[in-house]
């Protein structure tokens, strides 16, 4: 109850015209930077820090919060329409979302993403306001062994995206894992698979790989098939909005995505990618329309989109309650707090209640603003699909390359983008699935690091490292998920007979 009245005071801070204005600027700016791959909320906040220094802290943070949430919206729009994920958290959205757009259901995909993000953002922000202190205690108790268990569960849950052929899926997955090896070994800082090229020492940026495989790879592929295939792209089929049926298929994934995203986002090493993969895997297993997955299933957009927005709110839990930055954006927000002489941490809620609750209230407001801004724009965005294809693909390439270039301000990133695009073309021509490459690249290094840490912490004993209740049960769940198809076959015949 105490939090509720504090939140009410927060609304009084956030609802002043000036603060509403900053929130609006934030969400619009966030949407714009979310559209460009490579330019994300972290980079934007860091570039704006020097110029916002003259603002009062509350205005600045209200704007930054808007940028953070807005970027999640912008990233999903380009994922769906252009197959160009703007953020690593929206990579999964491209899998089903772009297929929906190609089949004329882009409007519904954008709507379910926007409404799902709103629902998830609102519920998760409520969670942030009410549950932050107890949640963070649980989160801190989880160590590397538990994270490793969680990542293995995610791997097991998404093996279903391996595609029709397990063997081919494994080629893609191990290719992704191999790309993830490139760079410095996170445990001892030694170079791996860098072939003496300094550029490769920092590894390959997942956003460049995603954009290279999806956007550039597809542009290559379509160019290679130009004039040989019939155009598959249907700008709009049926209603622009979600149908009754699509609403019915969306609301449960929204809630499940929120339930996954918020707690995982609050974990110090949870991040926003892990929940999107998990949500996708779960939706694919629970859906009544498994045959639609890979061809544009709305559940595959609704779930991950809710998950990434809920995770964004979850990230603020450790930041505001402990001063723990668990994502690049949170780290920039922390730097911003410090610039203002504020010390986010256990004492922030006591020392700066107006600021903290004002920011939390502005998250609700920013979320609502985003929904109000984005829903009417759906019609306009959809028109983009009617742009003649020569111009559409020209624009995709320009956007993909400006994003890739700005990651390191280096032309080498453009070479890498082209090379990954060529791999994407080869995979498509050889009928290998593309999504597992990304899964391997993102989850592989995470799994390796957490495994290494878990074993080191347990004084180099593997059995001791995982003989913990939570870690052990997570590994058991993963095993069950992997063995499920086989077990199901064993169980079913008996039932029919009996």
Q: Which of residues 65-124 bind other proteins (CB under 8 A)?
A: none
CA dist 302 and 287 (Å) reads: 12
Cβ neighbors of 350 (< 8 A, separation 6 or more) are: none
Q: Using CB under 8 A, which of the segments 85-93, 122-130, 189-197, 352-360 binds other proteins?
A: 189-197
Q: Using CB under 8 A, which of the segments 6-14, 107-115, 406-414, 486-494 binds other proteins?
A: 406-414
Residue 211 in the binding site for other proteins (CB under 8 A): no
Residue 390 in the binding site for other proteins (CB under 8 A): yes
Cβ distance to other proteins smaller for residue 126 or 236: 236
Which x/- pattern, by CB under 8 A, does the window 412-451 give for other proteins? x-xx-xx--xx--x---x--x-----------x---xx-x
Instruction: State the burial class of residue 321 (Cβ atoms within 10 Å of its Cβ: 0-12, 13-18, 19+).
Output: buried
Name which position in 236, 328, 354, 368 contacts other proteins (CB under 8 A).
328
Cβ distance to other proteins smaller for residue 31 or 309: 31
CA distances from 370 to 350, 356, 384, 453 (A): 30, 21, 20, 40
Residue 182 in the binding site for other proteins (CB under 8 A): no
Cβ distance to other proteins smaller for residue 242 or 322: 322
H-helix or E-strand spanning residue 183: strand 183-184
Please report how close the Cβ of residue 245 comes to other proteins at its closest, in angstroms.
30
Residue 227 in the binding site for other proteins (CB under 8 A): yes
CA dist 491 and 286 (Å) reads: 18
Size of interface with other proteins, in residues (CB under 8 A):
131
Q: Are 321 and 351 in contact (CB under 8 A)?
A: no
Which of 396-419 are b and which e, b meaning 16 or more Cβ less than 10 Å from the residue's Cβ?
bbebbbebbbebeeeeebeebbee
Residue 341 in the binding site for other proteins (CB under 8 A): yes
Place of tokens 């090229």: 197
Residue 18 in the binding site for other proteins (CB under 8 A): no
Please report how close the Cβ of residue 361 comes to other proteins at its closest, in angstroms.
22
CA atoms 274, 313, 35, 327: torsion sign = negative
The gap between the terminal CA atoms of the chain, to the nearest Å, is 54
Name which position in 18, 140, 426, 476 contacts other proteins (CB under 8 A).
140
- For the segment 146-175, give every residue that binds other proteins (CB under 8 A): 165, 167-168, 170-171, 173-175
CA dist 198 and 208 (Å) reads: 17
Q: Collapse the DSSP code of 191 into the 3-class scheme (helix H, G, I; strand E, B; otherwise coil) and give the result.
A: strand
Residue 317 in the binding site for other proteins (CB under 8 A): no
Cβ distance to other proteins smaller for residue 59 or 279: 59
Q: Using CB under 8 A, which of the segments 105-113, 253-261, 295-303, 397-405 binds other proteins?
A: 397-405
Cβ distance to other proteins smaller for residue 104 or 445: 445
Residue 456 in the binding site for other proteins (CB under 8 A): yes
CA dist 384 and 371 (Å) reads: 20
Please report how close the Cβ of residue 168 comes to other proteins at its closest, in angstroms.
6
Residue 130 in the binding site for other proteins (CB under 8 A): no
Place of tokens 């922030």: 348
For the residues of 391-431, what is the DSSP string, one character each?
HHHHHHHHHHHHHHHHHHT-HHHHHHHHHHHHHHHHHHHTT
Please report how close the Cβ of residue 243 comes to other proteins at its closest, in angstroms.
26
Residue 16 in the binding site for other proteins (CB under 8 A): no
């Amino acid at each position: 109850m105490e939090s509720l009245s504090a939140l009410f005071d927060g609304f009084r801070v956030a609802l002043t015209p000036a603060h509403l204005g900053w929130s609006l600027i934030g969400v619009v700016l966030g949407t714009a930077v979310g559209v460009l791959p490579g330019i994300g909320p972290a980079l934007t906040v860091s570039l704006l820090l020097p110029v916002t220094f003259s603002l009062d802290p509350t205005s600045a943070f209200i704007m930054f919060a808007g940028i953070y949430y807005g970027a999640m919206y912008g990233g999903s729009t380009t994922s769906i329409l252009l197959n160009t994920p703007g953020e690593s958290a929206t990579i999964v959205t491209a899998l089903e979302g772009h297929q929906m757009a190609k089949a004329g259901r882009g409007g519904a995909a954008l709507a379910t993403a926007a409404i799902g993000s709103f629902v998830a953002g609102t519920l998760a922000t409520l969670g942030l306001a009410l549950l932050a202190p107890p949640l963070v205690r649980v989160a801190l108790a989880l160590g590397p062994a538990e994270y490793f268990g969680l990542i293995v569960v995610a791997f097991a849950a998404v093996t279903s995206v391996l595609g029709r052929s397990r063997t081919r899926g494994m080629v893609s997955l191990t290719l992704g894992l191999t790309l993830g090896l490139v760079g410095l070994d996170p445990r001892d800082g030694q170079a791996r698979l860098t072939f003496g090229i300094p550029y490769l020492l920092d590894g390959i940026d997942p956003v460049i790989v995603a954009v290279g495989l999806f956007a550039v790879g597809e542009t290559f592929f379509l160019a290679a098939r130009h004039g040989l295939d019939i155009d598959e792209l249907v700008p709009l089929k049926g209603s622009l909005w979600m149908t009754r049926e699509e609403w019915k298929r969306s609301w449960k994934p929204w809630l499940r995505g929120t339930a996954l995203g918020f707690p995982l986002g609050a974990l110090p090493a949870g991040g926003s990618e892990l929940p999107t993969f998990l949500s996708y895997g779960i939706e694919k297993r629970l859906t009544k329309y498994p045959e639609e997955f890979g061809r544009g299933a709305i559940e595959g957009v609704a779930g991950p989109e809710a998950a990434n927005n809920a995770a964004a709110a979850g990230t603020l839990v450790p930041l505001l309650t402990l001063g723990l930055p668990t994502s690049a954006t949170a780290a920039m927000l922390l730097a911003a707090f410090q610039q203002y002489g504020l010390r986010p941490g256990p004492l922030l809620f006591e020392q700066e209640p107006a600021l903290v609750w004002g920011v939390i209230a502005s998250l609700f407001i920013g979320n609502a603003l985003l929904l109000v801004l984005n829903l009417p724009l759906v019609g306009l965005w959809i028109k983009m699909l009617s742009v003649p294809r020569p111009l559409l693909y020209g624009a995709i390439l320009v956007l993909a390359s400006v994003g890739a270039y700005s990651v390191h301000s280096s032309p080498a990133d453009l070479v890498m983008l082209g090379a990954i695009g060529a791999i994407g073309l080869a995979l498509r021509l050889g009928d290998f699935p593309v999504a597992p490459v990304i899964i391997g690249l993102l989850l592989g290094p995470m799994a390796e690091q957490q495994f290494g840490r878990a074993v080191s912490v347990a004084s180099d004993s593997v059995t001791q490292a995982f003989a913990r209740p939570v870690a052990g049960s997570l590994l058991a769940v993963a095993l069950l998920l992997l063995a499920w198809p086989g077990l199901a076959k064993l169980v079913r015949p008996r039932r029919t007979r009996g």
